[in-house]
């Protein structure tokens, strides 16, 4: 099975809502299991900006408006940035090995095609390349932590 086929399988499983899948043939054996803790953390981040549509009481609205304006202000700043997202589920690494420096740091300039990190999935180390040229503004994930499919890893200022 090729790496692209494995990535497609992982993407399909992540979208299907299944928690665990086991596939076994004469040639290979694959076991994919979602980590519920990581899923909750990933879902918690997008849930933070959404209290605006569901305020039930007037005091809740007055309390949420300052928070919304802060989020809008930071969201407005972040909106000019491009996200580099994880193309797969795996473990995020900023360095090729523990003794090496990070592929990129905040303030570094990157070109489209530059390697920015590694995502390890099922003992395969996949180099993640930038799809945009610009300057790294923020690293959104801690080194050696699990990441989900389509999770933002970096913010890049394309200007």
Q: How far apart are CA 6 and CA 23, in angstroms?
A: 11
Residues 21-61 pLDDT 10s: 777 777 767 777 665 444 333 333 344 444 444 444 444 44
**What Å distances lie between residue 152 and 73, 92, 142, CA to CA?**
19, 11, 12
Average of per-residue pLDDT across 81-96: 94
3-state secondary structure of 86: coil
- Reading the block at residue 116, the tokens are 């920015």
What is the rounded average pLDDT for all residues in the chain? 75
Q: How far apart are CA 105 and CA 101, in angstroms?
A: 9
Q: How far apart are CA 119 and CA 87, in angstroms?
A: 9
**Cβ(129)–Cβ(114) under 8 Å?**
yes
Domain ranges (residues) in the chain = 80-159
**Cβ(122)–Cβ(30) under 8 Å?**
yes
Span 80-159 CATH architecture: Beta Barrel (2.40)
Is the entire prediction scored with pTM above 0.75?
A: no
Angle (CA) 79 135 157, round 5°: 15
């Amino acid at each position: 099975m090729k790496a692209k086929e494995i990535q497609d399988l992982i993407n399909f499983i992540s979208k299907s809502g299944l928690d665990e899948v086991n596939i076994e043939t004469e040639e290979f054996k694959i076991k994919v299991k979602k980590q519920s803790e990581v899923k909750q953390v990933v879902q918690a981040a997008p849930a933070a900006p959404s209290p605006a549509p569901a305020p039930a009481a007037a005091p809740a609205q007055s309390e949420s408006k300052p928070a919304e304006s802060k989020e809008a202000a930071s969201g407005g700043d972040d909106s000019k940035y491009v996200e580099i997202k994880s193309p797969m589920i795996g473990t995020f690494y900023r360095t090729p090995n523990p003794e090496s420096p990070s592929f990129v740091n905040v303030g570094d300039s990157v070109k489209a095609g530059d390697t920015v990190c590694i995502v390890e999935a099922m003992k395969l180390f996949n180099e993640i390349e930038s799809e945009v040229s610009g300057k790294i503004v923020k690293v959104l994930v801690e080194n050696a932590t699990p990441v989900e499919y389509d999770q933002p890893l970096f913010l890049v200022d394309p200007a």
